[in-house]
Amino acid sequence: MINEPKIVEITEIIEETPTIKTFKFNWDFEKLGRPNPGEFLMIWNFNNEKPMSISQINDNELAITVKNIGEFTSQLHDLEVGSQIGVRGSYGHGFDNSFKGKRIIAIGGGVGMAPVNAIASYLAKDNDVSVISAAQTKDELLFLDSLKDIGVNVYPCTDDGSFGFEGFATNCLEDLLEDATYDYAFVCGPEIMMKGIFEILEASEIPGQYSLERYMKCALGVCGQCCVDSEGWRICVEGPVFENDKINQITEFAKYRRDASGVKY
């Protein structure tokens, strides 16, 4: 882990969807540390800094997958191969990647597929891994082919029925659970989606881990911007990944969050 930005050069850019790009860059694991799936990086564009989930962890190479939703992400999307960015981290409590010989279900909604891709890719070597990749429409689905190529059972799911299962990720999970069960689950996406998934998994007695997002500034647990109400847990330190028992204690889960000034929204 490094706590000051390391300047790296973008080596590859993949246009995943009309609004989402993956940016790859070299990362010396021996000198800078090897991140675990579920951890995040602070990305600096020499003007501002934002947290980004790690979507791929390869040999001395990392990737982030970014949706263009505002000024910062728009500036990232304007970059080209050879452009430089600042990176510090990795940070946070990531996913448990110690499973072997288990049946795993991972569920990602939208760009929440970024950390799901990282953990599913890692666990696919030693486990039977299934992934629900959910999006509003076909053009926004992520990582279908790359996950299939490494032996993951992929279940695409679209709100509008343009590809794969028609309906929400919750509906797709319920459909899968009619004929199968799983030892463990990993989930990331909009919190309203994760809340529904959480309730289904709890009813089926399937333990899981959930990756949350909050406004972050320091990533070091100092500024308190990313605290959640219940226990004062900091998303950047105690999270972003939380197990079932802790999710149960976060009263604001899927209800509200706070902006930079602390106002609920």
* Cβ-based neighbour number of residue 188 at 10 Å: 31
Residue 259 lies in a domain: no
Asked if residue 157 belongs to a known ligand binding site, the reply is no
Domain at 198, CATH number? 3.40.50.80
Residues 156, 198, single domain; the answer is: yes
This prediction's pTM: 0.94
* Cβ-based neighbour number of residue 31 at 10 Å: 9
Number of domains in the chain: 2
CA nearest to 46, candidates 12, 18, 13, 5: 5
Residue that terminates a domain, selected from 162, 186, 211 = 211
Residues 110, 79, single domain; the answer is: no
Residue 127 lies in a domain: yes
Name the band, by pLDDT with cuts 50, 70 and 90, for residue 1.
low
Asked if residue 199 has pLDDT above 70, the reply is yes
CA within 13 Å, CB half, 140: 20
Query: What's the CA gap between 22 and 26, in Å, rounded?
Result: 14
What is the predicted pLDDT for the residue at 141?
97
Domain ranges, residue 193: 103-211
Residue that terminates a domain, selected from 62, 91, 120 = 91
Residues 82, 113, single domain; the answer is: no
* Cβ-based neighbour number of residue 2 at 10 Å: 14
Asked if residue 236 belongs to a known ligand binding site, the reply is yes
Asked if residue 172 belongs to a known ligand binding site, the reply is no
- Count of H helices and E strands in the chain? 7, 13
CA nearest to 57, candidates 104, 107, 119, 9: 119
Residue that terminates a domain, selected from 33, 57, 91 = 91
Domain at 68, CATH number? 2.40.30.10
Name the band, by pLDDT with cuts 50, 70 and 90, for residue 248.
confident
Residue 224 lies in a domain: no
Tokens 């992520």 belong to: 142
Name the band, by pLDDT with cuts 50, 70 and 90, for residue 194.
very high
Residues 131, 205, single domain; the answer is: yes
Name the band, by pLDDT with cuts 50, 70 and 90, for residue 217.
confident
**Cβ contacts of residue 101 below 8 Å, gap of 6+?**
126, 127
Asked if residue 227 belongs to a known ligand binding site, the reply is no
